[in-house]
Structure 1
Amino acid sequence: MHLQAFGDHGRVVADLVDELRDRVGAGHGTSLVAETADGVVGHVAFTDALLDAPRRLVTVRVLSPLAVLPRAQRRGIGRALVTAGLQHERARGVPLVFLEGDPGYYSRAGFEPGARYGFRKPSLRIPDAAFQVFRLPAHGPWMTGTLVYPEVFWRHDAVGLRDPGA
């Protein structure tokens, strides 16, 4: 599914998902799928990350990846996966969910620019507009600082955008 949904970047995402399954299976995240009569058509993962806040490190989540098969896109499947995932994280007492993504798409689900609330992105390669956050009820005003991605994202070079001309 990830190979089809992400095109040229699909292999990186598929390999990342293979490793994220281990983290989720060990209780460090959430993975949801959407299924129709044709089988699984969508997937979203929410993985533990850290917020380096002034008081202490805070466990937060990173929404990545979100994939829907091309033949099933534009039917609300992605939004339904994100909404269900956010509800699940709210029930677990997660304070914040971060992502890198299209602000036009994710703002409709309630995500906002991270910098607006004093959050710093983990890499300068992440476009400012793409660095977004969803604040959940467990979020406290002191919870600000720098997002720290888990090592698996760095190992797969799945953070920010690379400049092919550099």
Structure 2
Amino acid sequence: MINDTKINIRAEQPTDAESVFRIHYEAFGEREEESKMAERVRTSEGYIPELSLIATEGDGSLIGHALFSKAEVVDEDLRYEVIVLAPIAVKPSHQKQGIGGALIREGLRLAAKHGNSHVFLIGHPSYYPKFGFEPARPHGFDLKQFEVPNEVFMVNILCQNSGIKGELRYPQAFFD
């Protein structure tokens, strides 16, 4: 539940780019990596405008951002389009109020509405399971681009009968 805060969630607009950069910069300890990654994804083929979500306060000020974008799962000669969640950030002054969770829930709802079967992330193993994420490797997925423990490479399977398995590959925008 969001603590005494009236927030709205909407799709990012072009005029939000500077505020989005600042939100990630502040939330990640004044480092630019996540902010620059969001900028690269925004200009890539994997960007989905309706899945780049902004949380605003009642006065319209931006307080959070979650970026859901395209990636692929590769299984030999088969390629499947999937969604990855990264980055997600809430202004430090507004953290621990449910805003990040609201962004995640809305992003998952919209991803499912648009016919996506899987959303992947690398994240904290005690936070994301409450949104339906679980370790991905037991479901037949692998990740070779990042060396991470099994419990932080997670998937939310939106369509149980998809039959997808294979290696998750993040697009180049995550690495430049």
Instruction: Please state which band the TM-score falls in when normalised by the shorter chain.
Output: 0.7 to 0.9
SS at match of 2:43: helix
Aligned CA-pair RMSD: 2.0
Which residue of 2 is the match for residue 160 of structure 1? none
SS at match of 1:23: coil
Which residue of 2 is the match for residue 96 of structure 1? 118
User: 1:22-74: per-residue Cα shift (whole Å, max 9, x none)?
Assistant: 23796477200000035110000011001002561000011001100111011
Which residue of 2 is the match for residue 17 of structure 1? 38
Which residue of 1 is the match for residue 7 of structure 2? none
> What are the ranges of 5 or more consecutive residues in structure 1 without an aligned counterpart?
156-166
What is the aligned counterpart of 2:155 among 133, 138, 146? Answer: 133
Which residue of 2 is the match for residue 146 of structure 1? 167
Alpha-carbon distance in 2 for matches of 1:145, 1:87: 24
> What are the ranges of 5 or more consecutive residues in structure 2 without an aligned counterpart?
1-22
SS at match of 1:74: coil
Alpha-carbon distance in 2 for matches of 1:48, 1:139: 20
Letter in 2 for 1:125: E
TM-score of the two chains, using structure 2 as the length reference: 0.80
Q: CA deviation at 1:123?
A: 2.7
SS at match of 1:103: coil
TM-score of the two chains, using structure 1 as the length reference: 0.84
Paired residues, number: 153
Letter in 1 for 2:28: F
